[in-house]
Structure 1
Amino acid sequence: MRIDLSGKTAIVTGSTGGIGLAIARGLAGAGARVVVNGRSQAAVDQAVATIRTELGEGRGAEAVSGVATDLSTAEGCAALVAARPDCDILVNNVGIFGPQDFFDAEDADWQRYFDVNVMSGVRLSRAYLPGMQARGWGRVQFLSSESGLNIPADMIHYGVSKTALIALSRGLAKRMAGTGVTVNAILPGPTLSEGVAEMLRPEVEASGRSLEEVAADFVKAHRPTSIIGRAATVDEVANLAVYAASPLASATTGAALRVDGGVVDSLV
């Protein structure tokens, strides 16, 4: 099986690090022209340089570019669309997370999570889907989470935003029926991204154990249903996203694609 995305343009939001950067790297490696996005110009430039170096001088300069804009606002989304008016693959990855008790989370906290995690994808999908429909081919993905099914008691606001993405992707898949455009949600489980590594760093330093060992203990303690018993790597998540973005996945749409290590204890 060979994934070939030559001639396709992909936009990956929130792709200066973590899962987003891994997806951008994977899509570029499969031949797509990739647009990296983040809030900071310096972070965007660094991510673009990293991917270009990996691709080599032959493809790097033309295959990867970047747009720095804050997608938590309508203006920020419009700026991205103005800079890159069309794409074939849209990966709505940008998101925020963090524990906060329900009774401490104020309206502004809920609004911030909804604006970043949900409305960015709504706005960009509304902008890019018509072009995909007109061309008869397209891929839209929403990075949800197993937390969208297993709502965490310590960050209900986050879980609700991820549930919304599952519903959004399913509804949009139906809306785009028969157009050649597929829409799916990707549901990672615990993943060893930079954010998770930073959260676990105090325990790593205190215990003298490796990050992977500490992460595995965290998964076993807080996600005991995990079948793999460890955190996934960002590349393991990206592999599924790259496949779902490819022509090979033409019959996969409206799906909640789990790459959660078996955390969700369900047959479907």
Structure 2
Amino acid sequence: MDLKIKGKTALITGGDSGMGLETAKFLAREGVNIVLSDESGGKELDTAVKQVEKDCQFGAKVMGIAADVSKNKQVLALADKVEKEFGGAHIIFHAAGARGAAGDFLELTDEDWMKTIDVDLMGAVRVARAFVPQMQNLKWGRMIMVASENAFQPYVEESPYNACKAAIINLSKCLSRSYSKENILFNVISPAFIETPMTDAMMEEEAEKRNVSEEEAAKQFVKENRPHIAMQRRGRPEEVASTVAFLCSEHASYINGANIRIDGGAVESAF
């Protein structure tokens, strides 16, 4: 399918791995210029850029720019570089985030909460604030933010993360009502237990605790801790990327303010 976005430019935060990287590859095959951004940059970001370059079609270009979304100056600098290099970003896939502090609610401090909020909620706020003006100038825009099943079905040990992901859905809905008349659409995806560095780290910890392989640890973890995942496995990043790419396209021109679950049936409720 031609997504009809050839020649447009996409910024992907958290773009050096997982869902961000796979989405970058998908969009590059559609002829979209790609800016990959991640907190630390370095070899991982360079490697990701080279991987995406292999998928580029129709003259699309790729570049990597390190930026920490918890630092407003860095986000503004990122926006400035994108504008200078490509004239602005038409598409934002904001995949940067962190599990943050986890544990017993009564043991989590203000600092624990604020660190998580600064990345998972305020990171999205900063990116939107920096790039919406570019989309206004381009008279076309798509922004997709990443929430989580945790927004609907919270896990007790992840209260800061749960709260931030619920807030992301509300933020996106608010922005969708503010800018749709300018042909700028905002949507959210809510993945569950996708093969990403975040869940890889969780499975490494589980494997060590259980004294089994990471693959076996993942199977046991799903069975014991994520029983509502009807497909009984972790999702693959490319299964997320295909949905995100569609939301970025001209074909999704009447999808605005929506939240789409990509969770293998993880959320038990129908609503």
Q: Within 1, Cα distance between the matches of 2:166 and 2:226?
A: 18
Deviations 1:190-212 (A, max 9, x none): 1111332232135557334x62x
Aligned pair in 2 of structure 1 residues 202, 144: CA closer, same or farther (>3 Å)?
closer
Q: 1:162 aligns with which of 165, 168, 183?
A: 165
What amino acid is aligned across from residue 94 of structure 1 in structure 2? Answer: A
Q: 1:207 aligns with which of 179, 204, 212?
A: 212
The answer to whether structure 1 residue 139 and structure 2 residue 142 are counterparts is: yes
Residue of structure 1 equivalent to 2:91: 89
What amino acid is aligned across from residue 54 of structure 2 in structure 1? Answer: T
Please, which runs of 5 or more residues in structure 1 have no aligned partner?
none
Deviations 1:185-234 (A, max 9, x none): 110011111332232135557334x62x5323322221211121111011
Q: Within 1, Cα distance between the matches of 2:245 and 2:31?
A: 11
Which is worse superposed, 137-146 or 97-106?
Answer: 97-106
Deviations 1:65-121 (A, max 9, x none): 011121111112112112113200011111000532222221112111111111121
Specify the SS of the correspondent of 1:11.
strand
Aligned pair in 2 of structure 1 residues 204, 241: CA closer, same or farther (>3 Å)?
same
Q: Within 2, Cα distance between the matches of 1:229 and 1:31?
A: 35
Number of matched pairs: 263
% identity of equivalent residues: 32
Specify the SS of the correspondent of 1:91.
strand
The answer to whether structure 1 residue 76 and structure 2 residue 74 are counterparts is: yes
The answer to whether structure 1 residue 218 and structure 2 residue 216 are counterparts is: no
Residue of structure 1 equivalent to 2:111: 108
Deviations 1:47-74 (A, max 9, x none): 1112113448x84xx5210111211111
The answer to whether structure 1 residue 265 and structure 2 residue 263 are counterparts is: no
What amino acid is aligned across from residue 71 of structure 1 in structure 2? Answer: V
Normalised to the residue count of structure 2, the TM-score between the two structures is 0.90
Q: Within 2, Cα distance between the matches of 1:267 and 1:247?
A: 28
What amino acid is aligned across from residue 18 of structure 2 in structure 1? Answer: G
Residue of structure 2 equivalent to 1:39: 39
Residue of structure 1 equivalent to 2:30: 30
Q: Within 2, Cα distance between the matches of 1:172 and 1:118?
A: 14
2:31–2:56 contact (8 Å) kept in structure 1: no
When the two chains are superposed, the root-mean-square deviation of aligned CA atoms in Å is: 1.9
Q: Within 2, Cα distance between the matches of 1:141 and 1:72?
A: 18
Specify the SS of the correspondent of 1:155.
helix
1:4–1:31 contact (8 Å) kept in structure 2: no
What amino acid is aligned across from residue 232 of structure 2 in structure 1? Answer: G
Specify the SS of the correspondent of 2:180.
coil
1:141–1:185 contact (8 Å) kept in structure 2: yes
Normalised to the residue count of structure 1, the TM-score between the two structures is 0.91
Q: Within 1, Cα distance between the matches of 2:66 and 2:270?
A: 41
The answer to whether structure 1 residue 67 and structure 2 residue 72 are counterparts is: no
What amino acid is aligned across from residue 99 of structure 2 in structure 1? Answer: F
2:69–2:126 contact (8 Å) kept in structure 1: no
Which is worse superposed, 162-171 or 35-44?
Answer: 35-44
What amino acid is aligned across from residue 32 of structure 1 in structure 2? Answer: V
Residue of structure 2 equivalent to 1:252: 255
What amino acid is aligned across from residue 77 of structure 1 in structure 2? Answer: V
Q: Within 1, Cα distance between the matches of 2:47 and 2:124?
A: 24
What amino acid is aligned across from residue 74 of structure 2 in structure 1? Answer: G
Aligned pair in 2 of structure 1 residues 135, 55: CA closer, same or farther (>3 Å)?
closer
Q: Within 2, Cα distance between the matches of 1:46 and 1:21?
A: 11
